[in-house]
Amino acid sequence: MSGVCLAFQIPELQSWATWDASAIVSGQWWRILTGNLTHTNAMHLIMNIAGLWVITHLFKPTAKHVAFVLFSCSTVVGIALLATEMQRYVGLSGVLHGLFGYFALREALEGRKSSWLLVGGLVAKVAWEQSYGASTSTSSMINARVAIEAHLVGALGGTLLALLTLSVQKITASDNESHE
């Protein structure tokens, strides 16, 4: 994933991949996913890749599990942003909020009590941003407005996905037990 994000920093690829509401509505649907993989500058890329590495180190998911959640959250963020006034979006941070929410909530619901602190921290961070806006220092580093809308929909998408996948697992497990 890091390599893909790095490749999308190439100007020709970035212009093809950036999330652009007008282009998506005109049929360039791939931007729903690829916009999450483009970045404003090297610092933006480094911060997002570092976030991805921290999340995967903290939760230790399989590559397949990460790919599933990345794809799902990218889709949610890319589609949900069409309902906002945003015209252009780049960055992985909305998806990272989804990944973090997904894995933290799953751990909490599977009995790891300390993970409730992670869920609470995510809720507090997103609520703060929605109430008071994003950090001005982050905006300066990435040379753009921080897309707090993407953080919100990513976090909501990831936590809802965690609830959905756990529910499906429980239903499947109970069906398997009743057939034995």
pTM of this structure: 0.92
pLDDT for 80: 97
- Reported as a pLDDT band with limits 50, 70 and 90, residue 5 is confident
Assigned domain for 179 exists: no
State mean pLDDT over 91-105: 97
- Reported as a pLDDT band with limits 50, 70 and 90, residue 86 is very high
pLDDT exceeds cutoff 90 at 143: no
User: Are 37 and 49 in contact, with CB atoms under 8 Å apart?
Assistant: no
Average pLDDT, the chain: 93
| Domain membership of residue 15 as a residue range | 2-168
Assigned domain for 43 exists: yes
Assigned domain for 180 exists: no
pLDDT for 13: 87
> What's the rounded Cα separation, in Å, for the pair 19 and 126?
22
C-alpha torsion angle, residues 19, 24, 27, 33 (rounded to 10):
50
- Reported as a pLDDT band with limits 50, 70 and 90, residue 177 is low
Assigned domain for 176 exists: no
Number of neighbours of residue 73 by Cβ within 10 angstroms? 28
Assigned domain for 6 exists: yes
Q: Give the count of domains, the chain.
A: 1
Assigned domain for 46 exists: yes
User: Are 17 and 31 in contact, with CB atoms under 8 Å apart?
Assistant: yes
Assigned domain for 177 exists: no
Assigned domain for 80 exists: yes
Query: In this structure, what CATH number is given to the domain that contains residue 63?
Result: 1.20.1540.10
